[in-house]
Amino acid sequence: MIYETQPTASHYVDGAYLEDTDGTPIPVIYAATGARIATVHAATPAVIDRALTAAARAQSDWARLSGRERGRVLIRAAQILRERNREMSVLETFDTGKPLQETLVADAASAADALEYFGGLAGSLTGEHIPLGGDWAYTMREPLGVCVGIGAWNYPTQIAAWKAAPALACGNAMVFKPSEVTPLCALKLAEILTEAGAPAGLFNVVQGAGEAGQALISDPRVAKVSLTGSVPTGRKVYAAAAADMKHVTMELGGKSPLLIFEDADLENAVGGAILANFYSSGQICSNGTRVFVQKSVKQAFLARLTERLKGVVMGDPLDEATNFGPMVSEAQMRIVEGYIAKGVEEGARLVTGGKRAARDGFFLAPTVFADVTDGMTIAREEIFGPVMAVLDFEDEDEAVARANATEFGLAAGVFTRDISRAHRVIGALKAGTCFINSYNDAPVEMPFGGVGMSGVGRENAKAAIEHYSQLKSVYVRMGDVEAPY
């Protein structure tokens, strides 16, 4: 047992914890030590059926409440999350290995923001009145029904809440499947929603790997699927949802560019590049992993970056002085090591890092490659680890063209003091989420999502409402009906 308030069973269904040991055991490994800290069981078909049945029942009652009444539950859940921030943060650290210094400010806090924001919005979700001369029409904003959320392992609390909050605000119910690598946090969110007054069955959590995800997506009771995951998984999930014309949101991977011009504030640019590559040990979908630096400032940039990386404190994630944690799993560490080896083999210059730390757990040092060229594997594929690729460029047009030469389009950033250039470059970059003189800020008020292979739809902000509701249009004739015969 991690601590006394950890989840007490594998699943959370119909307002309570549920166990079914017939499901395949899934070990929960603490990334900082490699030790097994819990075991959950994959959902059996019976568990999945119970979750979907409960969700369908809860949804019809929930949708009949006023938006304000629904919002009140979400806002209360946000308050409870904030009150229990430390407890939730410790659980997040055990689930992912991310340092407590991060989880205390980034995870339950972000989940609470989403619940509070969409709770506040719920009462203002309306249709519109459309005058048509004598006649008129109106639209009603209706929920979709039962939504399925499928999460990646890097932000288990945040991902669950970013999907649940808009879904529930719009009057839907949800069945959420966390990544099997990080199964714990979503269970606590479910528990908190119940405590906040959510009816039994409104938000359910079932465990399992891709198989459980597929079973959920293909069930006819499901109206929508929201996935956070890799592009290959996105393809499969999108295809499965298309068979029944289900709505989808796809938050997928990226290989985002960060452009640093010679007129940028160097200290801020280095800080931005650090945030864009090493926060959460680089396991962030929107990371700016292709750092294009204008040639004239490349040496100064690399020198200052190397200097600042001396401030990395790698160690026990529960020690609040630690600011750099392990990879989420041994498998992920090996994937990242493979990319580092490829970088060296293909001729990139290893500036710093590139090695495992001499300690238990899945720790990899923050790694910087310079002299990276566009064709190298480390410049083309998503690594999802602490590996920064620095590429140099001569001028703006060249940098923009090379930045856009990717199938992904999740995020992009630019550092420059030239205000016109900042907006011109951002306007030309093909990406859904952009940053000027900053990187990776994700306030709930701002839509988040990608273009191209990085995804479909948007999370957060008012934009998310469009993806969890549909319009019914009603034409109202005020006079007689004129039929031709």
Three-state SS sequence of 385-427: CCEEEEEEECCHHHHHHHHHCCCCCCEEEEECCCHHHHHHHHH
State in angstroms the smallest separation of the CB of 432 from ligand NDP: 9
State in angstroms the smallest separation of the CB of 233 from ligand NDP: 3
Decide: is 214 part of the binding site for ligand NDP (CB under 6 A).
yes
Among 273, 410, 414, 429, the residue binding ligand NDP under the rule CB under 6 A is: 410
Interface positions, 43-62, toward ligand NDP (CB under 6 A): none
Q: Which of 102, 251, 382, 459 is catalytic?
A: 251
Among 10, 179, 194, 204, the residue binding ligand NDP under the rule CB under 6 A is: 179
Interface positions, 454-473, toward ligand NDP (CB under 6 A): 455
CA distances from 417 to 266, 290, 420, 437 (A): 10, 20, 9, 8
Among 103, 233, 416, 469, the residue binding ligand NDP under the rule CB under 6 A is: 233
Is 254 in a helix, a strand, or coil?
Answer: coil
211 is catalytic: no
Query: Taking CB positions, which residue lies at the least distance from ligand NDP?
Result: 213
Ramachandran angles phi, psi of 456, nearest 5°: -140, 135
Residues 49 and 444: their CA atoms lie apart, in Å, by 32
Q: Around Cβ 95, how many Cβ atoms within 10 Å?
A: 32
Among 71, 145, 171, 213, the residue binding ligand NDP under the rule CB under 6 A is: 213
Decide: is 253 part of the binding site for ligand NDP (CB under 6 A).
yes
Taking CB under 6 A as the binding criterion, the range among 125-133, 164-172, 251-259, 399-407 that sits at the site for ligand NDP is 251-259
Is residue 312 left, alpha or beta, with left meaning phi > 0 and alpha meaning psi from -120 to 50?
A: beta
The contact pattern for ligand NDP, residues 267-296, with x = CB under 6 A and - = no contact, is ------------------x-----------
Residues 182 and 196: their CA atoms lie apart, in Å, by 24
Taking CB under 6 A as the binding criterion, the range among 29-37, 208-216, 290-298, 334-342 that sits at the site for ligand NDP is 208-216
Give, as one character, the DSSP assignment of residue 181.
T
Decide: is 209 part of the binding site for ligand NDP (CB under 6 A).
yes
The DSSP line for 119-161 is HHHHTT----EEEETTEEEEEEEEE-SEEEEE--SSSHHHHHH
Decide: is 380 part of the binding site for ligand NDP (CB under 6 A).
no
Q: Which residues contact 219 (CB under 8 A, 6 or more apart)?
A: 48, 52
Q: Which residues bind ligand NDP (CB under 6 A)?
A: 150-154, 177, 179-180, 209-210, 213-214, 228-230, 233, 236-237, 251-254, 285, 382, 384, 410, 450, 455
Query: Which positions are annotated as active-site residues?
Result: 251
